[in-house]
């Protein structure tokens, strides 16, 4: 028998469900964060502040099939993502091929694309299906380093052919860094080649109108700072260096230089290769620094206290600095791609950031999301 009390309780529950559904719908309707329109003569910034990194769809750590990769890209596109970053190194061409297959029927002016130079791919049947670096299964190609002018132009032409496209927006000089296991302390020798080869060649290609911007794509700060000393990069892809759990060094050293030069930063791996999404790994080396797990626990607890989740909090923090033009978290499947976009459509309470500062979990001078 339905009493007045049970009727009112049921009605209240129905209103709650409806309100929750309306709130979710309103979140989906919110636009993803965007950059202001580019001023005449200003340096290029991707219009969208959320992009998608192309490492995971090419089998970073774990093998990913074609169907899963395409579903991931489709989910990102359906969620409004229009900036995609890739590289010949990602899966030894696999990321570029899969991204090109997905984008082939999209109007070219509807998306922004960045790729990288520094490695040329050579056919080699002996490596097919093996693990190379973090790539779980690679196609029959091996890489050779080439930061010369000729190699740079060849690399971009090869990338465009793999993707079936005629133009590129942003080009990053890739992995010219001491953390590159192939280079280590010899990275400065490759830097000298890039100073006389890749850097002036990319500047020429920009002046020719073939690309819109160029910079470095690295996982350490020293090469990015060296690039600003040697040339005039427009945009730096700095991976793993500006995140919720690690940002003090980049905040003091890289961001001020970028702002002074009018350049911008694309934050790669804002979740530290999944660590801030709860994965048992940190960055690309896999070794978790001492104290990082406890710090993650404290960060997650504060997020939960304010009705948020750690991934959302981490993405908002990484995007908040005025020097940052975009963040490009990776996604292994459709769920992760949708979650990243949903996170950037949320609004987090100011009290959350105040508590993080009071707990000394973020630097005092770090810009906070508005």
Active site residues: 90
3-state secondary structure of 40: coil
Identify the bridge partners of residue 116 per DSSP, sorted by sequence position: 172
Instruction: Say which residue the tokens 């080649």 belong to.
Output: 193
Q: What is the DSSP string of 229-253?
A: HHS--SEEEEESSSSSSS-HHHHHH
Eight-state DSSP code of residue 48 = B
3-state secondary structure of 85: strand
Identify the bridge partners of residue 214 per DSSP, sorted by sequence position: 171
Structure tokens at 102: 């997905």
Q: Count, in order, helices (H) and strands (E) of the chain.
A: 12, 10
Structure tokens at 258: 């970028």
* Three-class secondary structure assignment of 133-178: CCECCCCCEEEEECCCHHHHHHHHHHHHHHHCCCCCCEEEEECCCC
> Strand 141-145 and strand 235-239: pairing?
unpaired
Rounded to whole angstroms, how far apart are CA atoms 196 and 214? 15
Sign of the torsion formed by the C-alpha atoms of 285, 176, 122 and 68 = positive
CB contact set of 305 (below 8 Å; sequence gap of 6+) = 352, 355
CB contact set of 278 (below 8 Å; sequence gap of 6+) = 310
Identify the bridge partners of residue 53 per DSSP, sorted by sequence position: 85, 330
Of 12, 77, 135, nearest in space to 338 by CA: 77
- Could you tell me if 187 and 177 are in contact, meaning their C-beta atoms sit under 8 angstroms apart? yes
Eight-state DSSP code of residue 60 = B
Instruction: Please classify residue 102 by burial: count the beta carbons closer than 10 Å to its beta carbon, then call 0-12 exposed, 13-18 middle and 19+ buried.
Output: buried
């Amino acid at each position: 028998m339905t009493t007045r009390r049970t009727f009112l309780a049921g009605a209240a529950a129905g209103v709650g469900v409806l309100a929750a559904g309306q709130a979710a719908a309103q979140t989906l309707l919110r636009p993803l964060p965007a950059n202001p329109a580019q001023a005449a003569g200003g340096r290029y910034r991707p219009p969208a502040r959320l992009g998608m990194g192309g490492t995971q769809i090419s089998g970073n750590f774990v093998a990913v099939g074609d169907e899963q990769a395409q579903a991931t890209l489709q989910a990102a596109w359906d969620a409004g993502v229009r900036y995609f970053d890739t590289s010949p190194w990602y899966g030894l061409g696999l990321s570029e091929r899969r991204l090109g297959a997905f984008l082939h029927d999209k109007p070219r002016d509807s998306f922004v694309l960045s790729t990288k130079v520094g490695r040329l791919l050579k056919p080699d049947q002996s490596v097919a299906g093996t693990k190379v670096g973090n790539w779980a299964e690679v196609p029959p190609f091996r890489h050779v380093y080439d930061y010369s002018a000729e190699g740079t132009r060849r690399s971009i032409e090869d990338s465009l052919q793999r993707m079936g496209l005629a133009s590129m927006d942003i080009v990053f000089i890739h992995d010219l860094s001491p953390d590159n296991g192939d280079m280590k302390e010899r990275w400065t020798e490759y830097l000298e080649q890039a100073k006389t080869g890749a850097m002036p060649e990319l500047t020429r290609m920009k002046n020719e109108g073939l690309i819109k911007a160029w910079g470095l794509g690295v996982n350490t700060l020293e090469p990015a700072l060296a690039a600003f000393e040697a040339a005039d990069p427009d945009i730096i892809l700095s991976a793993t260096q500006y995140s919720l759990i690690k940002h003090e060094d980049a905040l003091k050293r890289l961001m001020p230089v970028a702002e002074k030069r009018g350049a911008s930063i694309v934050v790669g791996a804002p979740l530290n290769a999944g660590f801030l999404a709860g994965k048992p790994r940190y960055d690309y080396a896999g070794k978790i620094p001492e104290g990082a797990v406890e710090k993650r626990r404290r960060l997650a607890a504060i997020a939960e206290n304010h009705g948020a989740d750690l991934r959302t909090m981490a993405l908002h923090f990484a995007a908040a600095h005025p020097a940052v033009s975009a963040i490009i978290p990776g996604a292994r499947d459709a769920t992760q791609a949708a979650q990243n976009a949903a996170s950037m459509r949320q609004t987090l309470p100011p009290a959350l950031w105040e508590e993080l500062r009071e707990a000394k979990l973020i630097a005092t001078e770090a810009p906070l999301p508005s």
